[in-house]
Structures are given as structure tokens and as C-alpha cells.
Amino acid sequence: MSRIGKHPVPVPSGVEVTVAGQTVTAKGKLGQLSATLIDDILAKLDDGKVSVTPRSDSRRARVNWATARTLVNNLVVGVSKGFTVNLEINGVGYRAAVQGSELVLQLGYSHDVKYPIPSGIAIKTEKPTLISISGCDRRQVGQVAAEIRGFRPPEPYKGKGIKYDNETLIRKEGKKK
């Protein structure tokens, strides 16, 4: 039995959720998102809560039950509060700045790395070494953060590179004489 799938998703005020067949659509102050659930899952909207149940007792239905509930929850939270991922830049001379519609990163290469900011994503740099990525779609926010981190992942000896703010690096000891 799924423990996550049993709990219905509460719909906060200001968010409008519609269930049409296998498509769940959420509309709120930050935008509109929709997700299509697999045929083995049934979604129902009852007095301000979206409940997700498996249609049968098949393995596929049980496996995807909690996943479908989490997708619906991400829609509702995304259009009401949004999601944010913070990145930290470590290294001498490494910095980031937003110029127009692109993020310009100086990461120790012979050239600046320019990353075009996708639509639906907001990137802020309060300090030159902190990047804040926010948006309503959780997948897109995570993908953009992973792509930016991929330009210079943290190395294990000095920790130079781009890392998530909650990421802990396992440091290695250097050479000994």
C-alpha cells in the first residue's frame, strides 16, 4: 500500500484545479500547469481536495499511485507558491551575473559561459557567487539548475565549482610528500 498516495492533495484558495479524464490542470497566481496521468490512475476533485486512487490492483497501478499524487501536488504547489533552487559558486574569480535574458558565468575558462534563460524561469543573482532559480514548474527549475551546475561541477580537492546550497561535498586529501 502506498502511504503517500492515500493522502489527498489540498487545494489552497486562489488555485483552480480541473480534472478532465486523465489530465489534471492547475491554475493560480504564478501560471497554469497540467499533467497527464497514466490510465491505471484515477483522479477526483472533491470539496477542495484532489484524491488519487488506483483503478485496479495491478502492479503498475500500485507503483504509479504515489507518483501521480506527487505530480498533482507539484502542480498545486507550483502555481500557488512556486519552487526555488539556490546555487553557490566557489572559486577565485568565479562569478555570475544576469544580463538581459541570459546568465553570464565566469568560471575560469578562457571565455564567459552564456546561458539563455528559458521562459517561465526567473534567475536572480543577489551576490556574484549566489544564483537563485525560481519558477512554477518543478521539473524545469531542477533541469535549469542541473544544466548550470554542469558547466563547472564542484571538484573534490578544493571544492571549486558550482554546487547546490544544500549539497555537501566529500573532500579528498591532496598528495603527500
pLDDT of residue 177: 79
The total of other beta-carbon atoms located within 10 Å of residue 174's CB is 7
pTM for this prediction: 0.88
Q: What are the residues whose beta carbons fall under 8 Å from the beta carbon of 120, sequence distance 6 or more?
A: 31, 135, 136, 137, 140
- Contact between 167 and 122 (Cβ < 8 Å): no
Share above pLDDT 90 across residues of the chain, in percent, rounded to a whole number: 78
CA-based nearest residue to 71, from 43, 29, 31: 43
Q: Is the pLDDT assigned to residue 2 strictly greater than 70?
A: no
Contact call for residues 30 and 80 (beta carbons, < 8 A): yes
Residue 152: which of 98, 109, 102 has the closest Cα? Answer: 109
Measure the CA–CA gap between 105 and 103, rounded to whole angstroms. Answer: 6
Query: What is the per-residue pLDDT across 62-86, written as a single tens digit (0 to 9) for each?
Result: 889 999 999 999 999 999 999 999 9
**Confidence class for position 125, pLDDT limits 50, 70, 90:** very high
What's the CATH number for 83-164? 3.90.930.12
Model pLDDT for residues 17-36, shown as the tens digit of each residue: 999 988 999 999 998 999 99
Cβ atoms of 87 and 133 closer than 8 Å: yes
CA distance 128 to 88: 9
The pLDDT assigned to 4 comes to 86
In angstroms and rounded to an integer, the radius of gyration of the C-alpha atoms of the chain is 21
pLDDT at 1 over 80: no
Residue 45 has pLDDT above 70, yes or no: yes
> Class for domain 9-80, per CATH?
alpha beta
| Domains in the chain: boundaries | 9-80, 83-164
Question: Among residues 78, 79, 89, 108, which one has the least CA distance to residue 149?
Answer: 89
What is the pLDDT of the chain when averaged over all its residues?
92
Q: Do domains 9-80 and 83-164 have the same CATH topology?
A: yes
